[in-house]
Structure 1
Amino acid sequence: MSDSFFGGDFGPPADDPDDTDGRNGAGGEAGDGGDQPDEFGRVGLDAPDEFLEQGDAVYAALLARLGEASPEPRLSATRRVVELLGDPQRSYPVIHITGTNGKTSTSRIVESILRAHGLRTGLFTSPHLERLNERMMIDGVPISNEALAANWSDIEPFLELVDAELEAAGEARLTFFEALSVLAFASFADAPVDVAVIEVGMGGEWDSTNVADGQVAVITPISLDHTARLGNTVAEIARTKSGIVKPASQVVTAQQPAEALTELARAAELTESTFAVEGEAFRLLESKVAVGGQLVSVQGLAGTYRDIFLPLYGAHQGHNAAVAVAAVESFLGGGTQAIADDVITEGFATATSPGRLQLVGIEPTVLVDAAHNPGGASALAAAVGEYFTFDRVVAVIAVLEDKDVAGIVRALDPVVTEFVITSSSSDRAIDPDELASIVVGIAGADRVLVEPRLEDALDAARESASGSEKGAVLVTGSITLVGEVITRAAAEGWKGEEK
């Protein structure tokens, strides 16, 4: 990290915006490298990553902590660490994003527009699909293993100090996500970035990312999820998520159920923040199917942007894009200045959302989507019906405990021909036979196949889909499952690439 936080001499000064080399830089995906740096000083695609083991060691150290499925509802522990570090999260402005569905996609679109505007960006999202580095993006590229390991080495003594203080007070040591949040804040300060787009891990009020004060608070659609942690009603969940709204900030929200909107409006009023609601202050005017995505027209807070290509499928992504536009307008000009046409065009065109209706295979078509609650599954089903002309869809499903399996399956049922039930590597994955019994009750036994081993499930699904001229495989229900399939598809060359 920069010497402003540790008093040491670590690399280039913090005011050097062109530093993307060495430990401060953003490198490629793990295992990628290259003998010639690109225009940003990043390595290419051929040479091995000599810091791969160090990056792996950071993940192993995080995994030794209490997992993300069991967050501690507290801010004090994270706040103590960042205070010891000199509050790195205050060294750049923050756009803070929460909600139930669409958080990651909206975050990525916001970041893409900001980068097109010429800002150096940090993006923190969760969870990762294949590798931890994905969660911390600098200028649109996963943080390098070298930078990841170096920043971890800098913060680890302070994590251990706070661990000791917590244990002495009879509290649990810092969790996986608390430590990871600190690492992200420190890494962005070290880069340094001009702005950080921070996605909440769970909830909002006590989520460890909430030690940051977002100038813009963004809320994507809220529905029932994580009820054991966040509350049993949409209003309770909205109340918790509204905790990211800070004094005199700018609040941008997607369309919400009435009870959620009431809670968000109350939070904005109490903090004397501005409050922009989709459908009132801004809106998605139109979404038209296009090759490789859609053409969207958005009326923002300050400008209207027509027929802009967005390489993402589904009307829900059009709505996410509208929210992202309003968020960026709020950040750049307080909602009073339109975004330049070339910036919005580039920002949309370069937006990606891995694991969201992502094509990972051809012959047959294999799509993966990280939908893991009824709201996400409904959006997925609508997109499949609107954007594709499949005559047979074979869904490979694995779901984690505490999820609304029946709600997910009912949402998918109208567009799925056959369900192949399996399991992911997560220790929270529902037993395939238990999962199958729920699916059979909705879809009927003649449409359900159980293959406990993921490899067997994928083989069976691809074979079944290949029996139809326009057959496709849809993998969904669990982010862990989607990540594993993305990895396998790439390793086996499902898109026809050389292995």
Structure 2
Amino acid sequence: MNFKEAQDYLHSFVNYETKVEFPYKESFKLERIQDFLKSLGNPQNAIKSIHIAGTKGKGSTCAYVANILKEAGFITGLYTSPHLNSFRERIRILDSSVQDQNPEPYFSGMISEDDVCVYVEKLKTAADQFNEKSQWDKLSFFEVYTALAFLYFKDKNVDFVVLETGLGGRLDATNTTDPLVCAITPISFEHTQKLGNTLEAIAKEKAGIIKNKNQVVVSAIQPDEALKAIKKRCQEFDAKLYVVGKDIFFEELFSDINGQVFNYFDSFSEYTNLRTGLLGRHQLINAATAIGIVDALRLFNFIVPAEAIKKGLETTFWPGRFEVIDKDPFVILDGAQNSASAEALKNTIKKIFGEQKTTLILGISQDKDLKGVCKALEPIAKTVILTKADNPRASEPKNLLGFFSENQDIKTTSGVKEALELSKAISLENDIILVTGSLFVVGEARDLWSRKIKQ
């Protein structure tokens, strides 16, 4: 089997990431993936995991944790979604003792094309037989790829796996592990038709990853409704809970376009003058959550040195999160896709650039809060260029027009390439081009800018 054949096989499964409408509880069956994993020998039971759910900041928090553990000498698996340019990005192994044989500019240690072929062949027969004989509906892409990741991490004998949930938590395919530490990043309104239309309901779905009293739970700063649901879930299982802002604290010292400096302390440790290249106050919350997760491993007799925490934070890079890919003009990529993330992005732009306005390239998926994102970002835009990703979920640019004020300078384009070319044509030196609204848009923009547009 070659890589194209393996890729085509994986893409033959239904992919809910490209669908706007689908019945959540009917489509997501934990029993289905549990039965499939059983047919593979339950590889997930052989790994020590850290499981992270939430609305905002899951990927960044996962990246922080994985990098810290790597710097501490642990061979660390990292499973995240969605991907920006290749599904291989989702499966990575971070190992400080190994030189990456095929270094990628953004995702070091990601699964090789050869290993994708090997592991597709390993599970193909089982997946085909399962779909033919199972009482359940057919497996999804996310379920099959999650199973592939578990097999891969088991065979590679990783010390830890850091897992990001796909959608929700309770019914997510990643919720088949028995993690040492669970974490809930900030909760806000998203996927309300599937997860619930209150913060409490959404948090309840996310907190479904908390399953027994042996787990330690770390929560980011949360709205009261969300924290109430998380606390209730922890009480049900007698799981110990640590909350940023109540048990875990950070103090911002300095920030500019190059990064941030902060102090941190909790009941275990105190760290001063920590640095991160990820920008925005929300990234300090993510960093504090990550340190809380790593410190909680002490309860399982895994001690992470302060130097590993410091270096891990400094070296964490997470593409598409206030990522500056050019400085003449400034080109910033950010995957903000709901109103809360858009507000955080607006605040970060203002903090770093003051009152300078941006050329805003905006493309949003149909199932997101279109109005909320547009209203949050309009105050920092001198020109808005509406576009769409090459994805079935993408909202048509014309559908966003009504969410902006009548006197706003707005242009519409048919795709990301046209939007980037237009932004470059109208931008001057030291202008800011901000690409946001969707990770699908951001992924296309990065690839296009580096290969074509910049030249």
- Counterpart CA distance in 2 for 1:161 and 1:94 is 28
Does the aligned pair in 2 maintain the 1:287–1:315 contact within 8 Å?
A: no
- Counterpart CA distance in 2 for 1:210 and 1:195 is 16
Secondary structure, in 3 states, of the residue corresponding to 1:209?
Answer: coil
The answer for the alignment partner of 2:105 in structure 1 is none
- Which structure is richer in relative contact order (CA contacts within 8 A, separation 6 or more)? 2
The answer for the alignment partner of 1:471 in structure 2 is 431
Matches within 5 A, 1:79-478: 79-139=34-94, 141-166=109-134, 169=135, 171-248=136-213, 249-290=215-256, 292-331=258-297, 333-334=298-299, 339-388=304-353, 391-438=356-403, 442-466=404-428, 469-478=429-438
Percent identical pairs in the alignment equals 30
Could you give the per-residue CA deviations for residues 355-411 of structure 1, whole angstroms, max 9, x where no partner exists?
A: 111122332111111111011111111111112357331010111111111101111
Q: Which moved more, 1:416-425 or 1:101-110?
A: 416-425
How far residue 414 of structure 1 moved from its aligned partner, in angstroms, is 2.0
Is 1:485 the counterpart of 2:455? The answer is: no
Could you give the per-residue CA deviations for residues 37-81 of structure 1, whole angstroms, max 9, x where no partner exists?
A: xxxxxxxxxxxxxxxx93343332222211123462211111111
The answer for the alignment partner of 2:97 in structure 1 is none
- Counterpart CA distance in 2 for 1:421 and 1:141 is 35
What is the TM-score with the length of structure 2 in the denominator?
Answer: 0.91
Q: Which moved more, 1:77-86 or 1:199-208?
A: 77-86
- Counterpart CA distance in 2 for 1:343 and 1:423 is 40
Partner amino acid, structure 1, of 2:8 = A
Secondary structure, in 3 states, of the residue corresponding to 2:245?
Answer: coil
Does the aligned pair in 2 maintain the 1:94–1:215 contact within 8 Å?
A: yes
Is 1:57 the counterpart of 2:22? The answer is: no
Does the aligned pair in 2 maintain the 1:366–1:473 contact within 8 Å?
A: yes
- Counterpart CA distance in 2 for 1:119 and 1:134 is 20
Q: Which moved more, 1:189-198 or 1:289-298?
A: 289-298
Partner amino acid, structure 2, of 1:274 = K
How far residue 454 of structure 1 moved from its aligned partner, in angstroms, is 2.4
The answer for the alignment partner of 2:98 in structure 1 is none
Unpaired stretches in structure 1, ≥5 consecutive residues: 1-52
RMSD: 1.8
- Counterpart CA distance in 2 for 1:91 and 1:388 is 48
Unpaired stretches in structure 2, ≥5 consecutive residues: 95-107
- Counterpart CA distance in 2 for 1:200 and 1:119 is 22
- Counterpart CA distance in 2 for 1:103 and 1:226 is 15
Secondary structure, in 3 states, of the residue corresponding to 2:418?
Answer: helix
How far residue 445 of structure 1 moved from its aligned partner, in angstroms, is 4.4
What is the TM-score with the length of structure 1 in the denominator?
Answer: 0.84
Does the aligned pair in 2 maintain the 1:102–1:320 contact within 8 Å?
A: yes
- Counterpart CA distance in 2 for 1:301 and 1:148 is 42
Partner amino acid, structure 1, of 2:385 = V
Partner amino acid, structure 2, of 1:94 = S
Could you give the per-residue CA deviations for residues 307-335 of structure 1, whole angstroms, max 9, x where no partner exists?
A: 1110111111011000000001112x029
Secondary structure, in 3 states, of the residue corresponding to 1:192?
Answer: coil
Q: Number of paired residues?
A: 434
- Counterpart CA distance in 2 for 1:335 and 1:388 is 44
How far residue 159 of structure 1 moved from its aligned partner, in angstroms, is 1.1
How far residue 459 of structure 1 moved from its aligned partner, in angstroms, is 1.3
Does the aligned pair in 1 maintain the 2:420–2:453 contact within 8 Å?
A: no
Relative to structure 1, is the Cα distance of residues 336 and 286 closer, same or farther in structure 2, using a 3 angstrom cutoff? farther
